Amino acid sequence: MYKDVLIQGDSLEILPKLPDNIFHSCVTDPPYGIGFMKDWDKTGIAFDVDFWREVYRVMRPGAYLVSFASPRSYHRLGCAIEEAGFFIKHQLMWLYGSTFPKGLNVGKSLQRTLGKDHPVTKKFDGYKTQIRNLHEPIVLAMKPIDQKTITANTITWETGAMNIEKCKYGDRTPPSVLIDQNVAVSMGGKSAYYPQFDTEAWMYCPKPTIEQKDEGLSDLPKEMWMQDTDPAGCDLSKGKLRAGFTSLRMNSHPTVKPVPVIKWLVELITPRFGFVLDPFGGSGTTAQACIESGRVFCVVEKEEKNYNIAAQKIDWWNNKFPVFEMYD
């Protein structure tokens, strides 16, 4: 009934062309609206109630929405989603341990401005403007059901319930907290590469390595890339943290999410063969997660460069996970 689609375009223009009530879920990672590196992060679309009303319209009654957010702008995103008609069901939290504060060193700045012996410089020695961010909140929301009960809604629309048994972590109900390799290590895992982390209390979701981000992109040129830390090279058990390193990458997208995290979310909120919307496709992570988990995707990405990365990734993923292997 549905087929995979990757669309290059602006979701503000594409969504109004789609029919009502078609998607079983929406899994997305919008621009956080904090001006992070790129112009697309400054438009404020994630806080636009009218945009989320369109997402609401195209989703089935009872369908779930997960959206990543920044700690700085989560409140605005959550309010916009709620105002559009969704019911805020929960908040997930992805904890990680590998970022560096980017704020101003006010102490150093005062030294340059007033001189190191000035009383104001002395008073504010060591003052800076940022703390270290170690988490990313995720909104879990639901379009209200239009039937009398969740059971009736599931019969009519196939939506309203979550795939709890399949998405159990170990033996336990899916948790609201996800952790990366650095947090796992600090909680008792033995190495950042192979954390023998045996608690089932949290979902283990490492950040993607450069190799994972580049997987399937052999046709693209490599670009110099700068990031805070190398997630795979960050082994807290050895006190090793590679800060501010540069690398050559083919996937030049600055905010690539790990496929396993998105796959887990897709499976949690979408029935098998269900139709998943991602209006902010980036390098195509949601599409890859859908291919891997036997869901159908509609992914929209505005920028040509990202669209091309996503298109190559989708081709490669389709070869890696042929359809017949996904029927269990």
Ligand X SMILES: C[S@@+](CC[C@H](N)C(=O)[O-])C[C@H]1O[C@@H](n2cnc3c(N)ncnc32)[C@H](O)[C@@H]1O
207, 257, 263, 295: which one contacts ligand X (CB under 6 A)? 257
Least Å from the CB of residue 38 to ligand X: 7
29, 215, 230, 292: which one contacts ligand X (CB under 6 A)? 29
Size of the site for ligand X (CB under 6 A): 21
The amino acid at 307: Y
Q: Report which residue's Cβ sits closest to ligand X.
A: 282
12, 134, 232, 311: which one contacts ligand X (CB under 6 A)? 12
Return the SS3 of 140.
strand
Residue 253 touches ligand X, criterion: CB under 6 A:
yes
Return the SS3 of 177.
strand
Looking only at Cα atoms, what is the longest distance across the chain? 74
| Paired sense of beta strands 59-68 and 135-142, if any | antiparallel
Residue 26 touches ligand X, criterion: CB under 6 A:
no
CA dihedral (260, 261, 265, 270) in degrees, to 10, reads -20
Q: Which residues contact 211 (CB under 8 A, 6 or more apart)?
A: none
DSSP 183-194: HHHHTT-S-SSS
Least Å from the CB of residue 308 to ligand X: 12
Number of H helices, E strands in the chain: 11, 11
Residue 293 touches ligand X, criterion: CB under 6 A:
no
Residue 252 touches ligand X, criterion: CB under 6 A:
no
Please, which of residues 137-196 interact with ligand X by CB under 6 A?
none
Residue 283 touches ligand X, criterion: CB under 6 A:
yes
Residue 48 touches ligand X, criterion: CB under 6 A:
no
Least Å from the CB of residue 302 to ligand X: 4
Residue 11 touches ligand X, criterion: CB under 6 A:
yes
Q: Considering beta carbons, is residue 275 or 280 the nearer one to ligand X? A: 280
Give the binding range for ligand X (CB under 6 A) out of 53-61, 215-223, 228-236, 297-305: 297-305
DSSP 18-29: SPTT-EEEEEE-
Return the SS3 of 205.
coil
Least Å from the CB of residue 141 to ligand X: 18
- Pull the structure tokens for residue 171: 């033996």
Are the CB atoms for 182 and 192 separated by under 8 Å? yes
Q: Which residues bind ligand X (CB under 6 A)?
A: 10-12, 29, 31, 40, 45, 253, 255-257, 279-280, 282-283, 285, 300-303, 306
